Homo-oligomer: A and B are copies of this chain.
Amino acid sequence: MLKKWVPEVCPEEKKLKERLEAAEHRLSVLQMKIKEHKLPVLVLVEGFGAAGKGSAIGAVIKNIDPRFFNVATMSAPSEEEKRRPFLYRYFVQIPEAGKFTFLNSGWADEICRARQQGELTDEEYLEKVDSVKRFERQLTDNGYLVMKFFFHISQKEQKKRIEGLLEKKDTAWRVSAHDKWQNKHYGECLDTFDQYMTDTGMPAAPWYVIDAQKRKWALLQALELLCKGIEVALQNESIAVPLLQNVFPLKQMPKLCEVPLDKTMGEKEYREELHILQDKLGRLHNRLYRKQVPVIIVYEGWDAAGKGGNIKRVAGALDPRGYEVLPIASPEPHEKARHYLWRFWKRLPKTGHIAIFDRSWYGRVMVERLEGFCSDNDWQRAYNEMNEFEKELAEWGAVIIKFWVHIDKDTQLARFEERQRTPEKQWKITEEDWRNREKWDAYETAVNEMIQKTSTVYAPWHILESVDKKYARIKALRIIVKELERVLE
List A residues at the B interface (Cβ < 8 Å). 4, 6, 8, 123, 126, 137, 140, 147, 198, 201, 203-206, 208, 228-229, 232, 235-236, 239-247, 249, 377, 380
Contacts and interface: CB of A to CB of B under 8 A. Distances in A.
Number of copies: 2
A205 B235 CA distance: 25
Given A206-B247, A228-B245, A239-B239, 10 more contacts: A126-B198, A137-B203, A140-B242, A208-B247, A232-B243, A235-B380, A236-B242, A239-B243, A239-B377, A241-B242
A405 to B, nearest CB: 28
A235 B453 CA distance: 15
Contact of A232 (B4, B147, B245): B245
18 contacts: A6-B249, A137-B203, A147-B245, A201-B247, A203-B244, A204-B242, A204-B245, A205-B245, A206-B244, A206-B245, A206-B247, A208-B247, A228-B245, A229-B245, A232-B243, A235-B243, A239-B242, A240-B240
Of A208, A235, A239, A245, most buried by chain B (CB within 10 Å of CB) is A245
Nearest to A3: B123
A232 B249 contact: no
A147 B245 CA distance: 9
A198 B380 CA distance: 26
Nearest to A380: B235
A240 B243 contact: no
Contacts of A140: 242
B243 A236 contact: yes
A245 B148 CA distance: 11
A121 to B, nearest CB: 12
A377 B239 CA distance: 9
A131 to B, nearest CB: 14
Contacts of A206: 244-245, 247
B243 A241 contact: no
A374 to B, nearest CB: 15
Contacts of A247: 201, 206, 208
A208 B249 CA distance: 10
Nearest to A7: B249
Nearest to A4: B123
Contacts of A147: 245
Nearest to A377: B239
A126 B232 CA distance: 27
A245 B203 CA distance: 7
A94 to B, nearest CB: 18
Contacts of A246: 228, 232
A239 B377 CA distance: 9
A158 B114 CA distance: 39
Nearest to A145: B245
A235 B381 CA distance: 11
A246 B235 CA distance: 13
A201 B199 CA distance: 11
